[in-house]
Amino acid sequence: MARSLKGLLEESMSQGQSMFTGPQLIARQASALAMTPELRRAISLLKLSNSELTKELLREAAVNPALTVSAPTQDVTLNLWKPPSGVKPRPPQMQVGIGGGLGEALGVAGSPGLQEHILHELRLVLRDPEDLAIGEALAEAVSPWGWLDRSVGEVAEEIQVPAQKVEVVLSRVQEIEPAGLFARDLRECLWLQAQDRDLLSPVMACLLNNLPLLAEGGLTELARLSDATEDEIRAHLALIRNFDPKPGLRFDPASPPPSEPDIIVRRRRGGWRVSLNNSTLPEIDINNRAKHGSEDLRAAELLRRAVVRRNETLLHLATEIVQCQSGWLEAGPARLAPMSFSSLAAALGLHETTVGRLAAGRMMATPRGTVTLRALCSASIATQNGEHISAVALRHRIAAMIAQEGSKPLNDVQIVENLADAGILLARRTVAKYRSQMGIPNASVREEKLGSAGA
């Protein structure tokens, strides 16, 4: 018997995480949902980002004594790396590829991803096969920003190796450039960078051991603890601000996201694990012991269930997207599958507008970069053999042809012919449109540039 959406949601959630190890065949049915107060409230919360959700819940808690809301703990990096008062942050620099402006995570250009970089460096640093296997297990535990998101003990248990051995290998792989990769927390990330730059003085060590105090601006107390002057503390703080708190993000071919991601995708042996970014989610508690009116308690419980439902639905949507786009995660834009809000809605038994609300503005951190959920949707284009290719994968194929064209640039008609040979029928104007979208000039302009370069 096909299971309900609620049953599927509950089955896929395990402590805020979802994991799959390969293609799954799940019986689903799209059923008409009764518009209960809980569902109506949950729908109203769907379009809210995690920060907006926190503000909304805090407003509710201010007028409902039965409701207690704990805002997420502020990231120390927000205080340590914020620009000085009156100084606007510099806009992120986009990477430029063969298209001149194609720097998005799904684009053709861009540097190797974090995982590719780490695996390449591991083979240079670790020669022993057993050490390399441990290093690869550690690499699988690296988050998109370059930190380990699992403990040494968990990695050791998974690969059945003594924890001391994993610690030894970890100390070696932490030498991989850029410094700060494989750190277990912010302190260790900055410590590794200070060590790498030969800046690990006693004063620097004191500051790194007291990051919360530093973030709060406790310069006087830090000066006392480190036996230094406040001017020396300020000088060391300036050095710390030149460190990179999330070195893995430099391998993200997209521009840095404006906020923390809502969803995190991590590689696991045999598959991918999808989880909500709990560090940006508020906590809700119902005060059943205090004497509150029954209306307050009912409203608080209704809101709590609505938030749970909102989070479960978002996680299930993200899991469905990751399962659909596992090829992109493994191999990049050439393997991005066709996907739309309507196909996701049909798979999840949700209305298309509900999926649209959920996906709006949601950021997902992956080993291939931080992207919006919407960016992973792409139109489907049929091939002659009955298969389908996404528009993004097709643009990637066109860009790859142009990148390999040599001294005689391909014109749009020749690209159409090459695609036809591969079973993909496109009009010349469609090829021109895709080429233009990627910022790639036409063949005559490319030929002129080649001529002037060779002159």
| Nearest of 144, 380, 114 to residue 122 by alpha carbon | 114
pLDDT at 82: 54
Alpha carbons 21 and 409: distance in angstroms, whole number:
43
- Rg of the chain's alpha carbons, rounded to an integer? 25
Q: What is the pLDDT of residue 254?
A: 52
Residue whose tokens read 């996201």: 257
What is the distance between the alpha carbons of residues 212 and 208, in angstroms, rounded to a whole number?
Answer: 9
Mean pLDDT of 110-120: 70
CA count, 13 A, side-chain hemisphere, 168: 10
The per-residue pLDDT of the chain, averaged, comes to: 77
For the entire predicted model, the pTM comes to 0.60
**Between these two residues, 34 and 129, which has the higher pLDDT value?**
129
377-402: per-residue pLDDT in tens? 888 887 777 778 888 888 888 888 88
Predicted confidence (pLDDT) per residue in 152-194, tens digit: 988 888 888 999 999 999 999 998 888 999 999 889 999 999 9
Alpha carbon 403 to its chain centroid, in Å, reads 28
> Could you tell me which of 395, 389, 396, 373 has the C-alpha nearest to residue 424?
389
CA distance 436 to 161: 53
pLDDT at residue number 35: 58
